[in-house]
Amino acid sequence: MSDIDPLGPTAVAPDGTPPLLAETFDSDRVTEIRHTVAACAETAGLRDARLDDFVLAVNELMTNAVRHGGGRGWLRLWRTGGVLYCLVSDTGAGIGADRLGDRRRPVPEIAGGWGLWLARQLSDDMLVHSGPTGTTVRISANLNATGPAQPTG
């Protein structure tokens, strides 16, 4: 077991491989980084709807970090074997346990509350670590899979 928290803000690939992308962001950089994530994910092997789903999930996580997590965050993207990972962290006040444990689809009439739900639906796996000093979310996509993501986390 590594001494590095796998959900920590400086996390890179568990095998020490440098990240494909390591960026800080605020509201002015979300669009730019989303495009860069798309290019990196495609180069890594994601295609078609799975590529679109993964990029949308990352965008939702970055948007959440800006809106609810202190206005800025950092992103790490890496590939280990046949899996692409993205980690998004912020320095907000955290997400309550009741909110994190709620896996129900948000009510359509309410504008907010879709970000984490969408990220979970659009990725193959999602891990969340949240506390009073910030939130870190790691999502992944199996590069060898076809069809829609099959969320497990």
Token look-up 């993205």 returns: 86
Taken in order of first residue, the domains within the chain and their CATH numbers are 21-132 (3.30.565.10)
CA-wise closest residue to 56 among 122, 127, 145, 132: 122
What span, in angstroms and rounded, lies between the C-alpha atoms of 56 and 46? 13
β-sheet with 125-131: strand ranges across: 21-26, 72-80, 83-90, 134-142, 125-131
Helix, strand or coil, per DSSP, at residue 129:
strand
Predicted TM-score (pTM) of this structure: 0.85
Dihedral sign (CA 28, 32, 38, 44): negative
Encode pLDDT of 41-76 as tens digits.
999 999 999 999 999 999 999 999 999 999 999 999
Q: Which residues of the chain have a pLDDT value below 50?
A: 1-6
- In this predicted structure, what is the pLDDT of residue 123? 97
CB atoms near residue 105 (< 10 Å): 11
